[in-house]
Structure 1
Amino acid sequence: MWNLSFISEEDFYNHVQLTIDKYGEKLQSFDLKRFNKNIVDPIKLIFDKSVYRSSWEQIISNEIFRQRDKSNNNDIGYFHQTIFKYIEHCRVPNNGEQGGWDVIFENPNGITMPDGSRVSRVYVEMKNKHNTMNSASSGKTFIKMQNQLLQDDDCACFLVEAIAKNSQNIKWEPKVDGQKMGHKYIRRVSLDQFYSLVTGQRDAFYNMCMVLPEVINKAVSELDSSTIPNDTVFDEIRDISAQQNYDSEDLSIAMAIYLLGFSSYLGFE
């Protein structure tokens, strides 16, 4: 039985599948050439292995994961933002359209604010984490919201954070040109609170989280087997280490790691 009333099972599955598709080339296998495309730091890898008391294979695996993961935030941002196009009264404009807002929530019956007042529309700027905006970016976003309020006196503007410090729907008061600014209709809202407002269900975000793992697993199980990474980096490093004339296998692998970054350096050439 499907437990989400605000989005159909088919729409949710398709949305998860499209998010996985965004991973694209990041699912491609890593060989040594790809691994060292942006030259890795051998010193860091050697420190990490010793300090974390890990194996060479695990350290290499961790570095591959890091390289894959560093560009995944945009993919997860797609998941957080685009899901709202399936939810009643919400739309997700194309990039640069309708003021460049990430989500627009519009309800002809009115949207109740925390102070009891009502507006017809909420314009949303969405961020993955609460600490991803510097002061200049915060100021620019606040001014954009301020301008929207001047153009539309029946709206509110939300900075919605997927990973907020707390569950919250509070007045946003950033510093703009060194001065603290604020307006009751410019608000800083955690993702769970936005789900609650949009769906009318207090635990809507929680319920989504509860069905998500199973849906992801189903979508991944239906992927073509060619999309399953077969990383060969450690095997290639071990082959290089076998050519080194050291008594210790550990030092031989360390030398192979050194050569990733220092092959032209004095003494290594």
Structure 2
Amino acid sequence: MNDNKYLTFITDEHLLYCISNLHSAYLKARSNVTKKNFYSNKVDTIKLTFDAKFNDIDEENLIQAEILRQIDKSFNNSIGTFHEQILGGIDGFEIGNLSGFDVKAADDTLFADIKNKHNTMNSSSAESLFQKLARYADNYKQAKCYWVQILAKGSFNERWTGEINGKEYSHSRVFKISGDQFYALLTGQEDALYQLYKVLPLAIENYLSSLNQQVASTKNSALDEIKSETIVSERSILDQITVENYGYYFGFDKL
């Protein structure tokens, strides 16, 4: 009898462990946005000016939204890791731990590289990935090797063939597969990814409520730092950001 509360294909403990890891990554991403981090790639204040006027957003909310966009970009990378850890917790499979693959079968009959979205690779990355999967297929004659797209443009499990960077690529045991079909392949349950989606809200709520102590709110400091500067300079928030990013440009020292 299966005593799991959430899913049949992984233990409750493993699911909550994966959620805990993702929560830690989120808190780290959120707390990392200091003014220095926020400015690290140069803030496009001309674009932000259009954003503010075209969307009728005040500057403070605009900058908060831009900071959240940066957090989201950082956090997105952790979602792929979440799926790797979930799939690696299925009986008979394990995660790669930076071994060149993301998930593999314990008996070496399957190797997989997991991308959260279908469009995260350029042609050079795709070529490199195909070559890597083909090497695994050549080294392990019983192995099927997969490029997994968790969020794909369709539902599929097919051989990965085609032209990449002007070269024809194909291998009898190199495949591309959508997230739903890969979850189904590893679990033997056709709707396994759907099951995960449905239990996540409850599992996340239970994880958060089970924390021994309230996690201190890790508020990013970038906006507070910028606002404190405006008190002294008497500039608008956007002007302050512009001066601190482009004060060395002709005329910008007049702000």
TM range (shorter): 0.7 to 0.9
What does residue 14 of structure 1 align with? 17
Distance 1:49 1:177, change over 3 A: closer
The answer to whether residue 218 in structure 2 is matched with residue 229 in structure 1 is yes
Distance 1:170 1:95 in 2: 26
Letter in 2 for 1:137: S
Distance 1:209 1:69 in 2: 20
What does residue 112 of structure 2 align with? 124
Distance 1:42 1:9, change over 3 A: same
How well do the aligned residues superpose, as a CA RMSD in angstroms?
2.7
Distance 2:35 2:128 in 1: 42
8 A contact 1:60–1:233 mirrored in 2 = no
What does residue 183 of structure 2 align with? 195
What does residue 146 of structure 2 align with? 158
Q: Percent identity?
A: 33
Distance 1:156 1:34, change over 3 A: closer
Q: Give structure 2 stretches of 5+ with no counterpart.
A: none
Distance 1:19 1:252 in 2: 36
8 A contact 2:30–2:219 mirrored in 1 = no
What does residue 55 of structure 2 align with? 52
Q: Which moved more, 1:233-242 or 1:54-63?
A: 233-242
Structure number with bigger Rg: 1
What does residue 126 of structure 2 align with? 138
What does residue 115 of structure 1 align with? none
What does residue 255 of structure 1 align with? 239
The answer to whether residue 92 in structure 2 is matched with residue 89 in structure 1 is yes
Shift of 1:91: 1.3
Shift of 1:71: 1.9
8 A contact 1:138–1:174 mirrored in 2 = no
Letter in 2 for 1:267: G
What does residue 102 of structure 1 align with? 102
SS of the aligned residue for 1:2 comes to coil
Matched length: 249
Letter in 2 for 1:191: G
Give TM-score, length-normalised by structure 1. 0.80
Q: Give structure 1 stretches of 5+ with no counterpart.
A: 108-119, 246-250
Distance 1:235 1:40 in 2: 16
8 A contact 1:40–1:260 mirrored in 2 = no
8 A contact 1:30–1:229 mirrored in 2 = no
Distance 1:200 1:31, change over 3 A: closer
Shift of 1:209: 0.8
Shift of 1:167: 1.4
Give TM-score, length-normalised by structure 2. 0.84
SS of the aligned residue for 2:66 comes to helix
What does residue 194 of structure 2 align with? 206
